[in-house]
Amino acid sequence: MPTDWGSLLIQLFSGLSRAMMLFLVSSGLSLIFGVMNILNFAHATLWLLGGYITFSIYTLLAGYYGVSILLLAPAVVAATLALFAIGWAIERTLVRRMYGRELPEQLLLTFALILIIGDLIRLFWGVQNLRIVLPIEPMPVLGSFVNPYLFFIIAVGLIVAGLLWWFLARTRTGKIVRAAVYSRDMVSALGIRIPNIYALVFALGVAIAAFSAGVFLPIIPIGLGMDMDLIVQCFAVVVIGGFGSIVGTFVASLLVGIVYSFSILIWPDGALAIIFVILVAVLIWRPWGLFGTEMRF
């Protein structure tokens, strides 16, 4: 195991950037479960779809204007909006039929979505991994080299986390979402159109996931099957943090991202196992997660 400060620092930055992605995907998963009691197993598959759409838009733009990191921005924005719309449509047509149903039925529907979207991706983009290659000079840090794009990812992750916090803490709609995590019945008894809140939460969660997929394209190639790895880790994050708690999801993302990144250094095959050891330990100590609450109505 390399013990020089430089490579530890690199591992820390890669852990933090991984934590940002985990947070951006898990926050939606956690909110969707918190508000609608739906476990969206297809969440990471929609994340993947967002990545592919970003790739295509970027490639199209780069074909006209040449390779440039600036072109990634419009591609990410367009894909985020596209996934917001797709998320809204999926909630209004399919997911809404699952409210109040048993978990196996939810599993069936979301698993069907995973297969359908996976096949659509295969059809449109093929089976090879795709990535965006950008000319980014590595930056020397304490004798090692760090991809400065990692700093960008961490900053963007923090900004989106901040925006999400602001939305939930300060806006009326965000407060309604938090109220709905506690009691959907009471929210609707106040005359609030709860179906719109459901659609918004689903679409927003999916859009934020798609955003993170796009932002990560320059450092990780995307390919079929990545959604399965990611969803497992996101469930770990959400369970550790406590379903429905955004602060919990954030803290758990940092924990899982950083621990995973250092575990890979020490024991590459056991990184995921270590995450699950933490998960089990948290569940024994606090069955409702670090920041979750027991009471729900």
Partner 1 sequence: MSGPLEVENLHAFYGTSHVLFGINLTVHPGECVCLLGRNGVGKTTTMRSIMGLVPARDGRITYDGRNLSGLPPHEIARSGIGFAPDARLIFPDLSVRDNLEIAIKPPLASGTLPWTLERIYKLFPILKPLEANAGGYLSGGEQQMLTVGRALMGNPTLLLLDEPVEGLAPVVVQELTQQIIELKNTGISILFAEQNLSFATQVADRAYIIEGGRVRFDGRLEDLERQPEIKAKYLMI
- Positions that interact with partner 1 (CB under 8 A): 172, 175-176, 178-179, 182-183, 185-186, 188-195, 293, 295, 297
Stretch (H or E) spanning 44: helix 43-65
The Cα 203–Cα 91 span in angstroms is: 8
Task: Give the shortest CB-22-to-partner 1 separation in angstroms.
Answer: 23
CB of 82 to partner 1, least distance (A): 29
- 269 vs 294 by CB, closer to partner 1: 294
- Minimum distance, C-beta of residue 26 to partner 1, in the bound complex (Å): 19
Provide the residue type at 275 as one letter: I
Q: Quick one: 122 or 193, whose CB is closer to partner 1?
A: 193
Cα dihedral across residues 77, 83, 85, 88: positive or negative: negative
Q: What residues form DSSP beta bridges with 130?
A: 222
Whichever of 131 and 178 has its CB closer to partner 1, that residue is: 178
Instruction: Choose between 194 and 238: whose C-beta lies nearer to partner 1.
Output: 194
Contacts of 189 (CB under 8 A, 6+ apart): none
Nearest 10 degrees: Cα torsion 168, 28, 149, 12: 90
| Spatial separation of the C-alpha atoms in residues 175 and 169, rounded to whole Å | 6
Q: How many residues does the chain have?
A: 297
Q: Residue 188 CB, nearest distance to partner 1 (Å)?
A: 4
Kindly state the smallest distance separating residue 295's Cβ from partner 1, in Å: 8
Nearer to partner 1 by Cβ, of 55 and 198: the residue is: 198
